[in-house]
Homo-oligomer: A and B are copies of this chain.
Amino acid sequence: MRETTVSPLPPVARGSGIREVARLAGVSTATVSRVFNDAASVSPDTRARVLEWATALRYEPSSLGRNLVRGRSELLGLIVPNVSFPLYGEMLGGIEAVLGGRGMSILLASSDDDPVGELTAARKVLRHAVDGGVIINSRLSTTPPAPRGLHWVQISAEHAGLPCRVELDNEAGGWLAALELLRVGRRRLTYLGAPGRESRERERGFAGALSKAGLTYRRAEGDYSELSGTWAADALLAAEPAPDGLFVAGDLMAAGALRALHRRGLRVPADVAVVGFDDAVIASLLYPRLTSIRQPAHAMGAAAAELSLRLIAGLPAESVTFAPELVRRESTGPP
């Protein structure tokens, strides 16, 4: 615990405070406060005078003082595994969009895709007395990082830790991928997965749809990285019979798989059709453009923010599961 954050930094220069504005405007601090908070109950006259001095002094109420007395910080904690991962960036965008209008700001901390980092990030965020928060893709199996007021929402975690969750129906996603590959006449199918719950769920849906069609499939496992996609695809392609359809658990890994296919001179989709997952920005940049199972990342972020705000407001908030969507592109269709 004790986390001694002795910061040797000197205090930052302060602006002028409520008292100075009050003094110069010839009113009490209470009145100044009212001008900045309460719309009513202050005469147009006084308000004008106060506002005049306020702007002259460049006064703005300090959120420190305000939040101290109100017991709120107007901050939403956000813990994300890795800021540069495109999908998380989109989620962040959704969260921001919701928060923007509500006068809340984002306190960001990244967990570096690591349980310990996650805890560190949580403590960091909690120290600032955030009112609530969102944690993306948590790896923690234990209790959530919510000491006081547990207004936290999780998106796509490894374990069902928090009561309030935003999820994607991964199984349905796997199902969609299978149907698409079947639609374009593929029968020798393959799943390229990764460790973790999400991949398992995607595979379950994929397997379900195939067994319903009386088919089986082969599998290999990577780690969501491009390189692992290339390797796993290579292994898959070496075996007989050569697959004609490939479902990959992530777009980045799918990019690696495409490269392996190119190297062997296999045409996509003519020889092998490919379906990715996430529909990250890169999906439409690949060659050929990648058919992918879309995660509505922006909407999921927005939903999580909304839920957290409801929790903070003491309103009921229920977990929500989003449905994935097939985005058909060249890798399963005509070029």
In the bound assembly, the distance between CA atoms of A8 and B2 in angstroms comes to 34
Distance to closest chain B CB from A194 (angstroms): 18
Which residues between 89 and 124 of chain A lie within 8 Å of chain B, taking CB atoms? 89-90, 92-93, 96, 100, 102-103, 105-110, 120, 124
Q: Which B residues lie within 8 Å of A35 (CB)?
A: 2
Residues of B within 8 A of A128 (CB): 63, 74-75, 105
Q: How far is the CB of A222 from chain B (nearest CB, A)?
A: 15
Partner of A89, one of B89, B148, B282: B89
B residues less than 8 Å from A284 (CB atoms): 226
Across the interface, which residues of B come within 8 angstroms of A179, CB to CB?
none
- Interface readout for A260-303 with B: 1 if CB under 8 Å, 0 if not? 00100000000000000000011011110000000000000000
Give bound CA distance, A61 to B235, whole Å. Answer: 54
Stretch of A11-19, A154-162, A201-209, A212-220 with 4 or more beta carbons under 8 angstroms from chain B: A11-19
A149 interfacial by beta-carbon distance below 8 Å: yes
Tell which of A50-58, A180-188, A240-248, A321-329 binds the partner: A50-58
Asked, given contacts A6-B37, A89-B89, whether A58 binds B147 with beta carbons under 8 Å apart, the answer is: yes
- B2–A84 contact, CB under 8 A? no
Contact check, B314 vs A10: say whether CB atoms are below 8 A apart.
Answer: yes
Contact among B13, B55, B84, B287 with A149 in the assembled complex (CB-CB below 8 Å)? B13
In the complex, which of the residues A71, A86, A105 has the most CB atoms of chain B within 10 Å of its own CB atom? A105
Residue in A12, A63, A96, A107 whose Cβ sees the most chain B Cβ within 10 Å = A12
Most buried by B among A8, A149, A258: A149
For A251, give the chain B residue with the smallest CB separation. B285
A54: chain B residues at CB < 8 Å are: 1
Q: A148's contact among B10, B12, B102, B258, by CB below 8 Å, is which? A: B12
Q: Closest CB of chain B to A130's CB: distance in Å?
A: 9
Least CB distance from A101 to B in Å reads 11
List chain B residues, Cβ under 8 A from A78: 108
Give bound CA distance, A285 to B229, whole Å: 12
Q: In whole angstroms, what is the CA distance A65 to B69 when docked?
A: 10
In Å, the complex CA distance between A55 and B310 comes to: 30
Q: Is B129 within 8 A of A110, CB to CB?
A: no
Query: Does A67 interact with chain B (Cβ within 8 Å)?
Result: yes
The reply to whether A124 and B151 form a contact with Cβ atoms under 8 Å apart is no
Q: Which residues of B contact A103 (CB under 8 A)?
A: 5, 7
Q: Please name all residues of chain B whose beta carbon is closer than 8 Å to the beta carbon of A262 when the two chains form the complex.
A: 287
For residue A331, give the distance in angstroms from its CB to the closest CB of chain B. Answer: 12
A142 interface contact, C-beta 8 A: no
A74 and B7 form a contact (CB under 8 A)? yes
Contact A60 B10 (CB under 8 A): no
Q: How many angstroms between the C-alpha atoms of A112 and B29 in the bound complex?
A: 37
With known contacts A7-B74, A84-B281, A148–B14 Cβ distance under 8 A: yes
Cross-chain contact A105 with B105 (CB below 8 angstroms): no
